């Protein structure tokens, strides 16, 4: 079997839950996590900027790591750039999609919330997803670019009160809307899943796409007959950033059990 790595990409730390899910289920190849801190955040950038930075970054990471598979573990990047990247590069790619379909299926009140970056909320892709899978629901979107910055800088140190405060504006909007299912449509917000669940209460399901995307990665790598996790196992990995480096990224990669590789430079290799 090929030892070329699986590479996860996000503007920052948002893709780590996807990496972690796969890390505990794939043992025969390395995983690489790239946080594109040089261009963080993506969610307030124009479409053209995201397209061009995505293309440039793909060239760099393919040259450095020759990945067997790239996981765009970022909704903004997937929504804006996945089809362009697929047409431009021969490497298989998996994107993440806001979990609108499962949310619509599981909402009894047929009232669902979606929280994501401004770019994702405004994009036609999300509107199409809602039209296709949630046309029987009242859908309440909320853009929160500030919350992305909160996760990227504070998630290791913030206590529950600080996390509650960071989520307060969106939670009050969703309570007012009377939703019973919330889609975390930005991967950074998965770090606040328990906070949202606690503030919204037991009647509201909080959904992300980690398991769905993880299973798709396994299908592509191993095939449909893969039976899932082998307890106690894990794959080797490397965490790199495209610009900023420092104690936050070092601590976070160590919390996820990933070797910290510093900057994504032309010399960095697994």
**Of positions 20, 21, 35, 43, contacts ligand DGL by CB under 6 A:** 43
Closest CA to 117 of 184, 48, 166, 61: 184
Nearer to ligand DGL, 41 or 102 (CB): 41
| Catalytic residue annotation | 74, 186
The stretch among 7-15, 18-26, 104-112, 201-209 that binds ligand DGL (CB under 6 A) is 7-15
Interaction between residue 209 and ligand DGL (CB under 6 A): no
Interaction between residue 24 and ligand DGL (CB under 6 A): no
Helix, strand, coil share (%) of the chain residues, nearest 5: 45, 15, 35
**Of positions 120, 170, 195, 209, contacts ligand DGL by CB under 6 A:** 120
**Rounded Cα distance, 93 and 78, in Å:** 10
**Of positions 5, 6, 8, 14, contacts ligand DGL by CB under 6 A:** 14
**Rounded Cα distance, 1 and 94, in Å:** 20
**Rounded Cα distance, 33 and 239, in Å:** 5
CB of 195 to ligand DGL, least distance (A): 16
Interaction between residue 187 and ligand DGL (CB under 6 A): yes
3-state secondary structure of 136: coil
The stretch among 35-43, 48-56, 63-71, 222-230 that binds ligand DGL (CB under 6 A) is 35-43
**Of positions 148, 183, 210, 270, contacts ligand DGL by CB under 6 A:** 148
Buried b (16+ CB within 10 A) or exposed e, 144-162: bbebbbbbbeebeebeeee
**Rounded Cα distance, 158 and 199, in Å:** 16
3-state secondary structure of 123: coil
Nearer to ligand DGL, 6 or 13 (CB): 13
The stretch among 132-140, 166-174, 184-192, 261-269 that binds ligand DGL (CB under 6 A) is 184-192
Question: Site size for ligand DGL, by CB under 6 A?
Answer: 16
Lookup result for tokens 């794959």: 235
- Which residue stretches of 89-159 are H helix? 100-106, 118-122, 124-133, 145-154
Nearer to ligand DGL, 26 or 148 (CB): 148
**Rounded Cα distance, 135 and 128, in Å:** 10
**Of positions 6, 7, 9, 11, contacts ligand DGL by CB under 6 A:** 11
Considering only residues 66-105, where is the footprint of ligand DGL by CB under 6 A? 74-76
Using CB under 6 A, list all residues that contact ligand DGL: 10-11, 14, 40-43, 74-76, 117, 120, 148, 186-188
């Amino acid at each position: 079997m090929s030892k070329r790595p699986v590479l996860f990409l996000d503007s920052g730390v948002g893709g780590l839950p996807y990496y972690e899910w796969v890390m505990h289920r794939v043992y025969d190849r390395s995983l690489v996590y790239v946080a594109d801190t040089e261009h963080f955040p993506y969610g307030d950038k124009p479409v053209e900027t995201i397209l061009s930075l995505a293309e440039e970054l793909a060239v760099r990471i393919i040259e450095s790591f020759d990945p067997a598979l790239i996981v765009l573990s970022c909704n903004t990047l997937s929504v804006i750039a996945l089809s362009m990247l697929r047409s431009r590069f021969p490497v298989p790619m998996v994107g993440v999609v806001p979990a609108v379909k499962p949310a619509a299926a599981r909402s009894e009140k047929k009232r669902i919330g979606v929280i994501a970056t401004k770019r994702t909320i405004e994009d036609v892709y999300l509107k199409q997803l809602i039209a296709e899978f949630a046309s029987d629901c009242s859908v309440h979107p909320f853009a929160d670019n500030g919350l992305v910055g909160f996760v990227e800088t504070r998630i290791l140190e913030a206590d529950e009160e600080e996390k509650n405060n960071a989520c307060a504006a969106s939670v009050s909007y969703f309570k007012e809307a009377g939703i019973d299912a919330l889609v975390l449509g930005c991967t950074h917000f998965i770090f606040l899943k328990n906070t949202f669940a606690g503030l919204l209460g037991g009647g509201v399901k909080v959904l992300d796409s980690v398991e769905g995307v993880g299973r798709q990665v396994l299908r592509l790598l191993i095939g449909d007959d893969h039976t899932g996790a082998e307890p106690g196992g894990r794959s080797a990995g490397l965490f790199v950033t495209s610009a900023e480096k420092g104690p936050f990224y070092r601590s976070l990669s160590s919390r996820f059990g990933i070797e910290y590789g510093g900057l994504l430079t032309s010399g960095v290799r697994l």
